[in-house]
């Protein structure tokens, strides 16, 4: 009788478990845990599958954003080189312009003007032949009269042929228009009063592997396009910048009439 009474009391006590304990057991069952087990600290954190998924996501993101970054950097470098080349070309034009407007006699400045390109006229200056040599690369020769060949490049920016930032210039002109002038001593000379000139600026990639001459250049002499690029593109075969301009000697009394005659020529 005593044992039966004890069992009855035990069953009665289990049927009156606290509500919070029942809720706890229910939550564990819902999570797939046995009522008598709990997660240890070593079992918490990311699973192997979650780590693999994270690595895949990171790889995909890096693969997507890396090419645009390289393209942007390459384009920025290319544009910067083009800006430098444009500045070099403008400096050469200004050098010649200062000579032309100076008070010096035409015969005194002609050897400092750009050399005459073979077979070109005022309207066909763009057909001037591309460079086929480098003017004294060892001595770093500069503009005329140091370098007086219309098909030669001279160093205009940088420290020499081994400088990857070096820029080389080809400067040339047509024969232009001359007028006879009588000097103070009575001598008559023909002075140039108008001409067209061109400037092409090449990067160091235009040189050959030995750095002793030019490589294979595009025969058109047209500037390479400035586009969205990640490489040197046409810098090794085409000039970075090409400029053409017209020069006149405004100090001469007959410069206007000479200029009219010059511009009327084919």
Contact indicator for 169, 197 with CB cutoff of 8 Å: no
* Closest to 172 measured CA to CA, from 224, 128, 136: 128
Handedness of CA 7, 8, 10, 11 (dihedral sign): positive
> What Å distances lie between residue 253 and 97, 137, 174, 187, 195, CA to CA?
18, 42, 22, 18, 17
Using DSSP's 3-state secondary structure scheme, residue 150 falls into coil
Handedness of CA 119, 123, 129, 135 (dihedral sign): positive
Walk along the chain (266 residues) and give the pLDDT tens digit of each residue.
444 444 444 444 444 555 555 555 555 555 554 555 555 555 556 688 888 888 999 999 988 988 888 787 777 878 888 899 999 999 999 999 998 888 676 667 888 999 999 999 989 999 999 999 999 877 788 899 889 899 999 999 988 888 989 999 999 999 998 887 777 777 887 888 889 999 999 999 999 888 888 999 999 889 876 665 544 567 788 999 999 999 987 655 666 777 777 887 76
> What Å distances lie between residue 84 and 5, 90, 261, CA to CA?
105, 10, 36
* Closest to 125 measured CA to CA, from 37, 201, 75, 200: 200
Report which secondary-structure segment, H or E, holds 179.
strand 177-182
pLDDT of residue 110: 85
């Amino acid at each position: 009788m005593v044992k039966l009474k004890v069992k009855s009391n035990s069953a009665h006590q289990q049927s009156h478990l606290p509500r919070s304990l029942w809720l706890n057991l229910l939550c564990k069952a819902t999570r797939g845990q046995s009522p008598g087990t709990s997660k240890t600290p070593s079992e918490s954190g990311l699973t192997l599958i979650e780590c693999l998924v994270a690595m895949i996501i990171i790889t995909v993101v890096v693969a997507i954003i890396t090419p645009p970054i390289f393209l942007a950097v390459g384009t920025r470098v290319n544009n910067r080189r083009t800006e430098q080349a444009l500045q070099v070309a403008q400096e050469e034009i200004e050098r010649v312009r200062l000579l032309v407007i100076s008070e010096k006699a035409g015969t005194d400045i002609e050897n400092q003007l750009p050399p005459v390109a073979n077979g070109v006229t005022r309207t066909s200056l763009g057909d001037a032949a591309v460079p086929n040599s480098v003017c004294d690369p060892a001595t770093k020769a500069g503009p005329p009269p140091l370098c007086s060949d219309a098909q030669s490049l001279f160093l205009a920016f940088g420290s020499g042929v081994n400088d990857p930032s070096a820029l080389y210039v080809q400067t040339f002109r047509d024969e232009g228009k001359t007028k006879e002038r009588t000097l103070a001593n009575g001598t008559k000379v023909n002075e140039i009063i108008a001409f067209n000139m061109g400037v092409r600026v090449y990067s160091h990639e235009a040189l050959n592997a030995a750095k002793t001459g030019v490589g294979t250049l595009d025969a058109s002499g047209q500037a390479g396009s400035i586009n969205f690029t990640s490489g040197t593109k046409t810098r090794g075969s085409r000039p970075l910048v090409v400029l053409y301009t017209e020069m006149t000697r405004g100090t001469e009394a007959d410069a206007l009439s000479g200029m009219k005659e010059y511009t009327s020529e084919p």
